[in-house]
Amino acid sequence: MEGTAAPMSAEPQTGVVDMMLNMGPQHPATHGVFRMVLSIDGERVVGVRPHIGYLHRGSEKLSEHESYGQVITLFDRLDYVSNLNNELVFARAAEELMGVEAPERAQYIRTILCELNRVASHLLFIGTYALDVGAMTPVMYTFRERERVQNLFEHVTGARMMHNYFRIGGVKEDVPGDFAERVRSVVRHLREGVEETDRLLTFNEVYLARTRGVGVISAADAVSCGLTGPCLRGSGVAYDVRKAYPYEVYDRLEFDVPVGEFGDCWDRYWVRLQECYESLRMTEQALEQMPDGLVMAPGRRIARPPKGEAYAHAENPRGDIGVFLVSDGTDKPYRVKVRPPSFCNLVGLERMMDGAYVADAVAILGSLDIVLGEVDR
């Protein structure tokens, strides 16, 4: 078994030697530049060592040299498929530090956009995950639906991905006049699109065979490893920042927190799928409730928070994203620390790989839904 690490001995080495398989950083199933070194015995994985950092751009260090408003653009580039959720958490940390609160309308706009962003991100996950386990059709369906959200975002923020739309104390500008109408149409189409993928994939025999009972992690291990978001909820723990520490307008919306049962890959997928429906539900409710009014808190345009520190966190599609912000009273943050959910979810990888096959390794990694921009920062 441990042929590679066996000490020199008088006996000739005739045992089985594990093969080291270097998966990544260039591998179609590692979602970017993640790398894991698998020790495999035949098709069985007996050890895994993850390596990250290929995309380390020093975002935290860079943030210390940008003014508060500019840091938001760096946060766009952390988790590049749920940009708005990232912007939100930094804006909230700075707001907490400065003691301002975004006007109600801005909070509703942020909530609606974040929830649509969540659906878009989950759709990307569902498509690529199906691709990981070998199904090629769902990715076409989900990308088609995701495009609707991207188009809406382009209409509202002017950009498809790096929006730079949320501001400390509100949003950049009010939404266009046909916002409500377009959101309703997008929500209607998305619901149909998600259901289409759902019908094709969720209870597909082969899909069940590939994902059920694979990558199981117990609730206790999941909490100890710091898993959050769908990965934690897949293990049956109903921890959701939107419920546990309501922010923005989530306390006024009615939604369920879907949780899994076994903590396997399929449960993590299922939780995300149900979250799509929940997010669409929330979007509709928020749209109904959205008042008129300001979209930016009145005050100085240049943020210069008082000395102090703040920790804000929010529910990102990947989990609980946190920002620890230290201010020294200047217009640039003294220290910005991101708690990246994908980074923490990866800690659970070793546990989940217990007894997996090589093919499972791909399915397990896919089910964590990592985005390397955020893991490496």
Partner 1 sequence: MSEQERPSGEESAAQAEQPAPRPHRGPPIETADETLSERGEATAKRLAAALGADAVAAGGRGETPWARVEPSALERTLRRCRDDDALRFDMLHCLLAVDYVERIELDYVLASVAHNRKAIIKVDLPPDAPSAPTATHLWQAAAWYEREAHDLFGVVFDGNDDLAPLLLFEGFEGRPGLKSFPLHEYEEY
Partner 2 sequence: MIDVRDVLYVAVGLFALFNGLMVVTLSLVWLERKFLGRLQGRVGPTRVGPFGLLQAVADAVKLLMKEDVSPGPAARVIFYAAPLLVFVPGFVVWLTIPFARDLAVRNLELGIFFFIAFSVLSIVGLVLAGWSSASKYAALGGFRSAAQLVSYEIPIIMTLLAVVVVAGTMNIAEVVEAQASAPYAALLPLAAAVFLLAGIAEVGRTPFDIYFAESEVVGGPFVEYSGAHWAVFFLAEYVNTFVIAALMALLFLGGWRWPFGADLPPAAGVALVLAKTYAVVLVIFWLRATYPRLRIDQLMSLGWKALIPLSFAAVLIAAAQQFYGWPVWSLTVLSVAILAVPAVLQVRLQRQPAMERARRYARRAIAERARGTGEAVR
Binding residues vs partner 1 (CB under 8 A): 52-53, 56, 58, 60-62, 65, 96, 191, 195, 198-199, 203, 221, 223-226, 232, 236-239, 243-246, 251, 256-261, 274, 277-278, 281, 308, 310-311, 313, 320, 322, 324, 326, 334-335, 337, 339, 343-344, 346-348, 351, 376-377
Q: Measured at the alpha carbon of residue 180, what is the angle toward residues 174 and 191, in degrees to the nearest 5?
A: 130
CA 358 to CA 360: how far, in whole Å?
Answer: 5
Angle between helix 104-132 and 83-98 (nearest 10): 140
Between 156 and 282, CB nearer to partner 1: 282
Residues 355-374 that bind partner 2 (CB under 8 A): 355, 357-360, 362
Count CA atoms within 13 Å of residue 159 on its CB side. Answer: 13
| Residue 332 and residue 67 in contact, taking contact as beta carbons nearer than 8 Å | yes
The least distance separating partner 2 from the CB of residue 350, rounded to whole angstroms, comes to 16
In angstroms, what is the minimal distance from the CB of 28 to partner 1? 23
Amino acid identity for residue 25 in this structure: P
**Partner interacting with residue 208 (select from partner 1, partner 2, none; CB below 5-8 Å by kind):** partner 2
Alpha helices in 256-377 (DSSP H): 265-289, 341-347, 349-352, 358-368, 372-376
Q: Which is nearer to partner 1, 17 or 37 (CB)?
A: 37
Indicate the residue among 209 and 244 with the shorter CB distance to partner 1: 244
Backbone phi and psi for residue 327, each to the nearest 5 degrees, phi listed first:
-115, 140
Q: Is 121 exposed, middle or buried (0-12, 13-18, 19+ CB in 10 A)?
A: buried
Smallest separation, CB 136 to partner 2 (Å): 7
- E strands, the chain, where? 19-23, 35-41, 44-51, 166-167, 170-171, 308-316, 319-327, 333-339
CB 327 within 8 A of CB 168: no
Residue 262 interacts with which of partner 1, partner 2, none, CB < 5 to 8 Å by class: partner 2
Task: Kindly state the smallest distance separating residue 278's Cβ from partner 2, in Å.
Answer: 17
Beta carbon of residue 357, minimum distance to partner 2 (angstroms, whole number): 6
Question: Which CB atom, from 18 or from 374, has the smaller least distance to partner 2?
Answer: 18
CB of residue 15 vs partner 1: minimum separation in angstroms? 26
Residue 132 sits in the site that holds partner 2 (CB under 8 A): yes
Q: Are 51 and 346 in contact (CB under 8 A)?
A: no
* Residues 188 and 121: beta-carbon distance below 8 Å: no
SS3 284: helix
Decide which of partner 2, partner 1, none touches 213; Cβ closer than 5 to 8 Å per partner kind: partner 2
**Binding partner selected for residue 245 from partner 1, partner 2, none, CB under the kind-specific 5 to 8 Å limit:** partner 1
Summarize as ranges the residues that interact with partner 2 (CB under 8 A). 19-22, 27-29, 41-44, 130-137, 140-141, 144, 200-210, 212-214, 216, 261-262, 264, 266-267, 270, 355, 357-360, 362
